[in-house]
Amino acid sequence: MEEQAIGRAGEAAGNTQNTAGNPGEAIKRDRRKGGGWKKYAGYGVTAFLVIAAAVILVFAFVQRKEFKTGFEKIKSAAAPIIYGSVFAYLMNPLMKFFETKLRHIFYKRAKNITRTNKVIRVLSIILTLIFVILLLGFMMYMLIPEITNTVSTLVEELPQQYRNLEKWYLGLEIRNTKAGAFMDNGIVKAGEYIDDFINNRLVEVATDIINPVLSGVKSFFGVIYNVFIGLIFSIYVLGYKEKIIGISKKIVYSLLKRKRANILVRVTRQCHEKFTTSFTGKIIDSFIVGLICFLGMLIFKMPYAVLISVIVGVTNVIPFFGPIIGAIPGSFLIFVVSPIHCLYFVIMIIVIQQLDANVLTPKIVGDSIGLSPIWVLFACVFFGSLWGVLGMLLAVPLMACIYMIVKEFVEYRLYRRGLETGTSYYETLEYEDETEVIRITTNDGTVITQKHNDEEDDDDQTDKADHPSGGSDDRSEAAAENTAAANAGNAHKMTLSRMLFKKIGTFVKRKRGDKKKDHE
pLDDT digits 0-9 by tens, 111-144: 888 889 899 999 999 999 999 999 889 888 888 8
Tell me phi and psi for residue 443, to 5 degrees: -65, -30
Three-state SS at 417: coil
Kindly give, in sequence order, each residue whose CB lies less than 8 Å from that of residue 184, ignoring residues fewer than 6 positions away: 175
Q: Are 244 and 237 in contact (CB under 8 A)?
A: yes
- 357 has pLDDT over 90: no
pLDDT at 379 over 50: yes
What span, in angstroms and rounded, lies between the C-alpha atoms of 243 and 447? 39
Better-scored residue on pLDDT, 403 or 177:
403
What pLDDT, on the 0 to 100 scale, is given for residue 213?
58
pLDDT at 191: 67
- According to the model, what pLDDT value does residue 268 have? 94
Helices 322-337, 305-315: axis angle to 10 degrees equals: 160
Instruction: Give mean pLDDT, residues 212-218.
Output: 61
pLDDT of residue 96: 92
Question: Rounded to whole angstroms, what are the CA distances from 285 to 313, 406, 479?
Answer: 9, 29, 62
- Least confident residue range of 319-333, 382-396, 471-485, 489-503: 471-485
What is the overall mean pLDDT for the chain?
Answer: 75
Mean pLDDT score, 457-468: 42
**Which of 78-92, 199-213, 501-515 bottoms out in mean pLDDT, i.e. has the lowest?**
501-515
Q: How far apart are CA 380 and CA 396, in angstroms?
A: 7
* Per-residue confidence band for 154, with pLDDT thresholds at 50, 70 and 90: confident
- The residue among 149 and 394 whose pLDDT is bigger is 394
For 324-337, what is the mean pLDDT? Answer: 86
Query: How far is residue 14's CA from residue 18's CA, in Å, rounded to a whole number?
Result: 6
Q: Quick check: 406 pLDDT over 50?
A: yes
Q: Between 364 and 273, whose confidence is greater?
A: 273
Which residues pair with residue 447 across a beta bridge?
A: 441
Place 333 in a pLDDT band, splitting at 50, 70 and 90.
Answer: confident
Sign of CA dihedral 75, 76, 77, 80: positive
* DSSP three-state, residue 319: coil
Least-confidence region, from 54-63, 123-132, 335-344: 54-63
**Amino acid 98: pLDDT:** 93
Residue-by-residue DSSP string for 361-386? HHHHTTTSS---HHHHHHHHHHHHHH
Question: Greatest CA span in the chain, whole angstroms?
Answer: 122
Per-residue pLDDT at 36: 59
> Whole-angstrom Cα distance, residue 256 to residue 264?
9
Q: What is the pLDDT of residue 269?
A: 94
What is the per-residue pLDDT for 114? 86
Q: What gap in Å lies between CA 317 and CA 92, rounded to an integer?
A: 19
Mean pLDDT computed over 336-357 = 88
As beta bridge partners, residue 436 has 452
Angle at 92 between CA 86 and CA 96, to 5 degrees: 180
Question: Which of 206-215, 309-318, 416-425, 495-504 comes out lowest in average pLDDT?
Answer: 495-504
- Under the banding of pLDDT at 50, 70 and 90, the label for residue 470 is very low
Render pLDDT for 423-461 as a digit per residue (tens, 0 to 9): 888 888 887 777 655 555 565 666 566 555 554 444 444
Q: How confident is the model at residue 464 (pLDDT cuts 50, 70, 90)?
A: very low
- More confident site: 92 or 488: 92
| Mean predicted confidence (pLDDT) in 342-351 | 92
Residue 288 has pLDDT above 60, yes or no: yes
CB 491 within 8 A of CB 440: yes
How many angstroms separate the CA atoms of 379 and 395, rounded?
A: 5
Mean per-residue pLDDT, 98-107: 90
pLDDT (0 to 100) of residue 402? 93
Helix, strand or coil, per DSSP, at residue 438: strand
Mean pLDDT of 325-346: 87
pLDDT-derived band of residue 473, with 50, 70 and 90 as boundaries?
A: very low
